[in-house]
Chains A and B, each alone.
Chain A
Amino acid sequence: MFISSQSSAPSFRDFTLVMPAVAVGNVGQLAVDLIVSTLNMSRVGHIHTDCLIPMAGNNPYASSKEDGEELHTPAEVYAAAELKLAVLQIRAPILQSKTKKFRQLLVSWIKSSGFSRAVVLSSSHAYQRDDQQLQGTPLRYLVTPSLLKGSADALKELGWREMERVPAFPGLTDGNTEPRLSIPGGGITKEFYTDSCKEDLPLAVLLLFCSEGDNIPDAFALANHLNDWLHLLDDNSKQPNKWKIPTSWSLLFGNGIPPALF
């Protein structure tokens, strides 16, 4: 459940929530890191739950020695009141047996907090694209009917591509198999989207097709894509480096090299 880290509980009424899905390449989580780091958002609370594997570390967004020694937990909420933006960052895998419980927790928290809309940043296995998905942009979106009512025009203007429904058994011409939504490697994305449709939550999913590897460029792509819609950064220049990389993004591929190796 949500526990405030300040003296009083923050209000999220009419805020936009951005959250990642733990998915292939951790792209959603990396993109969220960029948002929190660039907008210098402050932590307002924790999601304290048994659904995530415990981990702890010092402040991943530390900019100086003073704020470096602040403990951070696997699921935290950051807020930027002037932008009416709240961000949930998830830093640990969801326990396999607790995925349903975690989705229910999120749905009920989003509902009770009064968010005007929620956006899930996610990703999907690039190698499982079908022929039509291989062409063009790797970015896709999904919206629940509830959010479509308010945002249909904005989405049309952006010219985004909706996530296609794919046949369950490609190649089989059996008339019974209807195309259905499939987000392989997306973690809880698909089920969370269908839950949100059922619960009438205004939810959008932004995802991109990627593979495991150096996913930093993917994170930038997803963050920029989100920014095109929500205009989180008021820097209108098309520079790719308007996002600030957090200090925790170091040594992503291992330690320094032992000099004796050469």
Chain B
Amino acid sequence: MATFFGEVLSVYSRAVEEDDDELDENEEDEQIRRELEEKREVHLHWSPEVSESLKSGNKLQCSDFVLAVGQNASSFLSVHILSTANWDTIGRVSAWNERSRAVTGQSCEESACVFYRHKNNPTVLICQVSCYVAEDQLFQWTEKVFDCLQHRELNVTVLSDTSVADYKTADYLGGSSAPFLRSLHTSAFGDQPVCQSLEQPNIVTGLAAAVLNHCQVHRIAAVVYQCYSDVIGPDSVTMETYKPVLTKLGRSIQLDPSPSTDALRKFVRTTDLQSNLYI
């Protein structure tokens, strides 16, 4: 596109990327593409006991599945629920993508996406996702995980972190209103959400959206609590925003409603060396 001053600007569309005509791929290109696809595949790694029970098409008995997406959501669950130490680690998901960090020794993915099951009530599952799941992996992640769970009378709760910069509202949000919760639920969800429903024209994206899509289409009761925060990274105020959800979760899960500040401190880095730039 040329402007009045004669300079030529590249024009970008927000809807489509540059057209790439499907060129004839030679065998080598095909192979590279296939290998890349294989590398990006989502893999579930269950504990031996769970793998055994999942053999021959059996599914995990599950009445409540709680998924935390993001650092604050994951830390909230760690502090209020997983701290009661009645949980077994039963599996993890690995999904390599461009944002995965190659760490020597223990791979970063080891701790990034973990499944826990309650010792006394094995139909309650928790999953914490603190790594980035790429757009092309979201559907696969959801399908593979839900393929292992039985769907009848399953209740899914998703806690998801997001930035308040993504929140669209006609009234300007002063600094005081963030962090806050908004909810979105499937048609099969019969309960009352603990907070206001997400207003138009806001949408949910990422893993929370992939889970909602799956549950809507397969008629599973699911609710997403999206927390809009103005802080990037772990923050105790943001974590506390999820507290109203405890009233719902507490019905089927034993939890710690008032954790000690020490427990909270473990998950919140108060001073980051790199953020000394703006004291």
- Seen from chain A, the residues whose Cβ lies within 8 Å of a Cβ on chain B are 3, 5, 22-26, 46, 48-50, 53-58, 60, 62, 68-71, 73-74, 93, 95-98, 100, 125, 127, 184-187, 191, 211-212, 247-252, 254-259
Contact B135–A3 (Cβ < 8 Å): no
Total of A-B residue pairs, C-beta within 8 Å: 140
Interface residues in B191-239 by Cβ distance below 8 A to A read: 197-206, 208-210, 212-214, 216-217, 224
Chain B interface main SS type: loop
A185 and B197 in contact, given A50-B140, A56-B203 (Cβ under 8 angstroms): no
A251 and B19 in contact, given A54-B209, A57-B202 (Cβ under 8 angstroms): no
Give A184's nearest chain B residue, CB to CB: B19
Contact A71–B16 (Cβ < 8 Å): no
Contact B217–A48 (Cβ < 8 Å): yes
On chain B, the number of residues with a Cβ less than 8 Å from chain A's Cβ atoms is 49
- Seen from chain B, the residues whose Cβ lies within 8 Å of a Cβ on chain A are 1, 11-17, 19, 22, 37, 135-136, 138-140, 142-143, 167-174, 184-187, 197-206, 208-210, 212-214, 216-217, 224
8 pairs of residues in contact across A and B, judged by CB atoms under 8 Å: A25-B13, A26-B15, A50-B139, A58-B199, A58-B200, A73-B213, A212-B14, A258-B174
* Shortest Cβ distance from residue B45 to the other chain A in the assembled complex, whole angstroms: 21
Contact B212–A56 (Cβ < 8 Å): yes
Contacts A23-B15, A255-B167, A255-B170 known; 4 new A-B pairs at CB < 8 A: A55-B204, A62-B200, A68-B200, A185-B16
Contact B15–A22 (Cβ < 8 Å): yes
The CA of A220 and the CA of B167, in the complex, are separated in Å by: 27
Contact B204–A95 (Cβ < 8 Å): no
Report chain A residues within 8 Å CB of B212.
56, 71, 73
Give A60's nearest chain B residue, CB to CB: B200
Which residue of A3, A50, A60, A212 contacts B201 across the interface (Cβ within 8 Å)?
A: A60
The CA of A251 and the CA of B168, in the complex, are separated in Å by: 7
Contact A251–B13 (Cβ < 8 Å): no
